[in-house]
Amino acid sequence: MGREVAESCIDGVIIEMVSAYCKRFYATKPELAARRIEAIGYQVGHQLIERLPSAFPPFLFCLRASCSLSSDLFMRGLPGPVDLVLIGYTVERPRFSDHLEAIKFICKDFWSELFKKQIDNLKTNHRGTFVLQDNRFRWLTRVSIDPSLDISEASQDDSAVTPENKAAEATSMHLYFPCGIIRGALSNLGIPCAVSADISNLPACSFVVRVKA
Partner 1 sequence: MIMCVAVVGHQNNPLYLQSFTEADDALKLHHIVHCSLDVVDERVNNPKKSGPTLNETFLGMLYPTENYKVYGYLTNTKVKFLMVTTDLDVKDADVRSFFRRFHAAYVDAVSNPFHVPGKKITSNAFAERVSGIVKSFGPVTTG
Cα–Cα distance for residue pair 32/40, rounded to 1 Å: 13
Residue 74 sits in the site that holds partner 1 (CB under 8 A): no
Residue 94 sits in the site that holds partner 1 (CB under 8 A): yes
Residue 164 sits in the site that holds partner 1 (CB under 8 A): no
Strand locations in 98-152 (E)? 121-124, 129-134
Residue 47 sits in the site that holds partner 1 (CB under 8 A): yes
| SS3 call for 51 | helix
Q: How far is the CB of 102 from partner 1 (least distance, A)?
A: 8
Contacts of 111 (CB under 8 A, 6+ apart): 117, 118, 119, 134
Q: Which of 33, 34, 46, 106 binds partner 1 (CB under 8 A)?
A: 46
Q: Which of 12, 77, 190, 192 binds partner 1 (CB under 8 A)?
A: 190
Is 67 buried (19+), middle (13-18) or exposed (0-12) by CB count in 10 A? middle
Residue 89 sits in the site that holds partner 1 (CB under 8 A): yes
Residue 192 sits in the site that holds partner 1 (CB under 8 A): no
Residues that bind partner 1 (CB under 8 A): 43, 46-47, 49-51, 53-55, 89, 92-97, 188-190
